[in-house]
Amino acid sequence: MIPHLGHHLLGKLQPLHIQEHYAWALKNGRADNKGNSKKKRKEEDNKEIDKSLSPTTVLYHHRVLHEALKHAVEWQIIIRNPAESVRPPRKAKPQHKTLDKPEIEVLLAEARGTELYIPILLAIHTGMRRGEIMALQWKDIDFRTDSIQVRQALEWAPKEKVHKLKRTKNEKNRRVDVAFTAMEELAAWKKEQKQLRVATEKENKKRQKEGRAVVPVEINDFVCTWSDGRVVSLDRCTKEFIRLAQRCRLGGITFHSLRHTHATLMLQLGIHPKIVSERLGHSDIKITLDTYSHVIPSMQREAAQKWNGYFG
C-alpha cells in the first residue's frame, strides 16, 4: 500500500484515492512477480505475468488501512476516516473440490491396507477435521450406539516441534452418528491394531535374543496409528494423501476435501443443514450455508419438484 498511497499527506487522503488503490491492486498489485497462472507464464515464455491480487488479499489491505486510519481519528490527527466511505471488494469464495461415489470407492480401494485408510474412512463418513481424526481415541467411539464423541484435536507446535492435543475448533464436544458399515470397519481395525502391536512385541523379543536393535512400541488409545502404536502425524497424512490422490488420478484433492465431500453429499441427500452444521462442528449454521451455498440451488429445485408432486 505504501508505494501507491504513501505519497498522500494523511489529512489530504480521500476515499477516491483509496478506491483507486483497490482497483489498481486487483489488476497490478502483485509485487513478487510470481503471478497466479503458471500455465500462462509457460505458454508465454515468461513474457506475460499475471500481477493481479485476489479480492481476499485486497480486502485485507482495506482492513489494515481502515484500522490504522481509525486510530488516527481517535488521536485527532484527522477528523474522519476516509476508508469508511470506500467499498472494498468482497472476499473471494474458495471453490471446494469434492468427490462423487465412484471416486470415493476408487480412493478407499487404493488406500486399503495403508495407514491412511481409517483416517480417510472417518473423514468421508463423519466430516471430521484432520486434527480431530488424528486425536480420536477408542474411548471416544461407542460401538453400542454407532457414534463418535469429538472432544479434541491434534495440532503441531512448531516451537516445541511436537504434536499436542487441544480442544476442538469451537471448544465444544459434539456427537457424530456413524453408518454401521463404517463402524464395522473400525471394529475390524481395532482388532488388527492389537494384533500388529503384539506381532511387533514378539519381533522385538526375537531381536533382543539376537542382539539386534528393537522397535519401540508406543502404548496408547489412539485410533489412527502405525503398527508400532505411533500416531500418524498431520504432515505425513497430508503428504501421503496427496500422493494417494495422484495415483487415483484425483488431482486437486486434499485431505480437507473429504470434509467438504461429506457435507456436500449430506446436503444433496436432503439432510437438514442444521444437522450437517452440527456434524461438522460449525459454531453457526450460517457458516454451513455460506460455505455450501453452491449446493442450495439443487436442493431448491428438488423441493419444488416434491411440492409439485404433492399437488400434482
Other Cβ atoms less than 10 A from the Cβ of 167: the count is 11
Q: What is the pLDDT of residue 262?
A: 96
C-alpha cell at 187: 471394529
Q: Can you give the pTM of this predicted structure?
A: 0.72
Q: Which pLDDT does position 42 carry in this prediction?
A: 46
117, 111 contact by CB (below 8 A):
yes
pLDDT at 285: 92
Q: What is the dihedral of CA 7, 12, 13, 19, to 10 degrees?
A: -100
Q: Which of 28-37, 46-55, 80-89, 231-240 has the lowest mean pLDDT?
A: 28-37
pLDDT at 34: 57
pLDDT digits (tens, 9 = 90+) for 29-64: 777 655 554 444 444 445 556 678 888 888 989 999
Binned at pLDDT 50, 70 and 90, residue 151 comes out as very high
pLDDT given at position 75: 94
Task: Give the whole-angstrom CA distance, residue 102 versus residue 108.
Answer: 10
- Per-residue pLDDT band at 71 (split at 50, 70, 90): very high
Name 150's bridge partners: 174
List pLDDT tens digits, range 109-142. 999 999 999 999 999 999 999 999 999 999 999 9
pLDDT of residue 200: 86
The pLDDT-based confidence of 101 (bands split at 50, 70, 90) is very high
State percent of the chain over pLDDT 70: 92
- At residue 103, the pLDDT reads 97
pLDDT of residue 40: 45
More confident residue, 52 or 296: 52
Phi, psi of 169 (to 5 degrees): -55, -45
Q: What is the structure's pLDDT at 169?
A: 84
Question: Quick one: cell of 136?
Answer: 480420536
Q: What is the mean pLDDT of residues 221-240?
A: 91
The pLDDT score that the predictor gives to residue 43 is 45
Average pLDDT value for the chain: 88
Q: Which CATH architecture has domain 101-291?
A: Orthogonal Bundle (1.10)
Q: Where are the domains of the chain?
A: 2-85, 101-291
- 164-186 pLDDT, tens per residue? 999 988 788 999 999 999 999 99
Cα 22 to chain centroid distance, Å, stands at: 29
Question: Residue 86: which of 33, 166, 23 has the closest Cα?
Answer: 23
Q: Are the CB atoms for 48 and 35 separated by under 8 Å?
A: no
Domain 2-85 sits in CATH at 1.10.150.130
pLDDT at 35: 54
Q: Residue 275 — very low, low, confident or very high, per pLDDT cuts 50/70/90?
A: very high
What values do phi and psi take at 205, rounded to 5? -65, -40
Grid coordinates standing for 163?
504434536
